[in-house]
Amino acid sequence: MLLTKERRQAFSYRSSQFSISVFRFVLIVGISYIILFPVLTKISSSFMPMRDLGDQTVNWIPKHPTLDNYRLAIEVMNFPKVFLNSLFLSFLVAFLQLVSSTVVGYGLARFEFRGRNLILAAAIFTLVVPPQMMMVPLYLNWRFFNLYGLLPNGGLNLMGSYWPFLLTAVTGTGLRNGLYILVMRQFFSGMPKNLEEAAYVDGAGPLKTFIRIMLPSATPSMVIVFLFGFVWQWNDSFLTTLYLDSNFLPVALSNLSRSLAAYLEMTDVQYFSLIVNAGSMLMIAPLLLMYAVLQQYFVESIERTGLVG
């Protein structure tokens, strides 16, 4: 009697575990499907020729896969040029943002000084103000750049150069830079204090301690900050069109159907959609590649990144 009761309990435990895992599996597959759906649509339609579009039997997998969509997208977007421009700018900005947010985050996390909380509040404040509000002053300041009268003359025209991006990235006030400062500060706050003290006792200065002791263990957080900085710069069309020109990937992509119409001297919503999808694939492929290489930092070591402290 006793035995069967135990057995029954064990069985009901196992069956509830089983039903939980089935439930979980269904949910995860369903949500993954919703997330992957737009990517799959893009992949599928970017290889699809026009004649498969009219074919009722073709749904996801094109019958006559073609690279023509890509060829046309590359040509009309002037892809090699805009790709290199975007790549260079995004790398530069992400790197400089990483440097500035690491340095500032460390300063805010590990040293006591008056006004520290004020600076932290300022970093949060930069996140809350919509850039659209300051668009006009920013535009004018870079157009007639003289640091509010600190530089002589009528001011330099920095529009159309990388300077606005470089200067804001170096000083931690670039796109969403406040967030990266917070992430790095959060990480450094969680490091044990005696690590630093040991280095000081051994005669290392603050800078040396920072570079030799603190930075190596901050790699996961730094990878995430770099990745975010890169992705946001890569996708940004607001500041690039404001400060620079349209020779960057996001802008070229959003103008693609208009340029196609001019290039082919015709308009065809269905056909253009295929080519725009090929263009979108060209834009997200580098991000997917980067994500694939770096994703272990996301999925395995979140607990070490100090996103939450």
**Residue keyed to tokens 């190596």:** 216
Rounded Cα distance between 203 and 15, Å, is 62
Q: Which two tokens stand for residue 193?
A: 């204090």
* Subset of residues 66 to 95 that bind another protein, contact rule: CB under 8 A: none
Q: Looking at residue 111, what DSSP letter applies?
A: -
Cα 87 from Cα 287, distance rounded (Å): 11
Name which position in 73, 108, 222, 223 contacts another protein (CB under 8 A): 108
Task: Quickly tell me which residue has 């260079």 as its tokens.
Answer: 88
Residue 12 as a binder of another protein (CB under 8 A): the answer is no
Compare residues 92 and 138 and give the one whose CB is closer to another protein.
138
- What minimum distance in Å lies between the beta carbon of 80 and another protein? 19
Local structure of 66: helix, strand or coil? coil
Contacting range for another protein; rule: CB under 8 A; set: 72-80, 84-92, 213-221, 268-276 = 268-276
Asked if 130 and 238 touch (Cβ cutoff 8 Å), the reply is no
117-146 residues near another protein, rule: CB under 8 A: 119, 122-123, 126-138, 140-141, 144
- Site map (CB under 8 A) of another protein, residues 289-308, x = contact: --x---x--xxx-xx-x-xx
Is residue 34 at the binding interface for another protein, with CB under 8 A as the rule?
yes
Stretch that binds another protein, among 4-12, 73-81, 100-108, 215-223 (CB under 8 A): 100-108
x-or-dash pattern for another protein, window 145-164, by CB under 8 A? --xx-----xx---------
The one among 50, 74, 158, 170 contacting another protein by CB under 8 A: 170
Which CB, 5 or 114, lies closer to another protein? Answer: 114
Per-residue mark of binding to another protein, 213-252 (x: CB under 8 A):
---------------x--xx-xxxxx-----------xx-
In the chain, where does DSSP find H-type helix?
Answer: 2-46, 50-53, 68-77, 79-110, 116-128, 131-143, 163-170, 177-189, 193-201, 206-209, 215-217, 219-235, 238-243, 249-254, 256-264, 269-299, 302-305
Give the other-Cβ count within 10 Å of 16's Cβ: 10
Minimum distance from residue 195 beta carbon to another protein (Å):
16
Note the residue count of the chain: 309
